[in-house]
Amino acid sequence: MIGLSYSCDINDELQVQIHEKRQKMIHSAKENGLQSEQTLNISQELDVLINKFLHIHNGEERFEAKSSTSC
């Protein structure tokens, strides 16, 4: 199914983006401190990615409750 494959691809890509953003945030925190503007901006960007991931994941859980197909 194209829809599920597309959803899985987005899910995988978001997981990679979340991992990379988290690493960038950790590096920024070590270099600039936890309260630096740069670290806080990266943290907010990470929050957006995590929220997107959760929104997609929760949507798939609702869909899977109606059908037995998953990634």
Calpha distance 33→36 (Å, rounded):
5
Higher pLDDT, 10 or 39: 39
Domain limits, the chain = 14-57
Higher pLDDT, 30 or 64: 30
pTM, 2 dp: 0.75
With contact defined as beta carbons under 8 Å apart, do 59 and 70 qualify? no
Calpha distance 64→61 (Å, rounded):
5
The rounded mean pLDDT for the chain is 85
What type of residue sits at position 37?
Answer: E
* Cα angle value 49/51/54 (rounded, 5°): 110
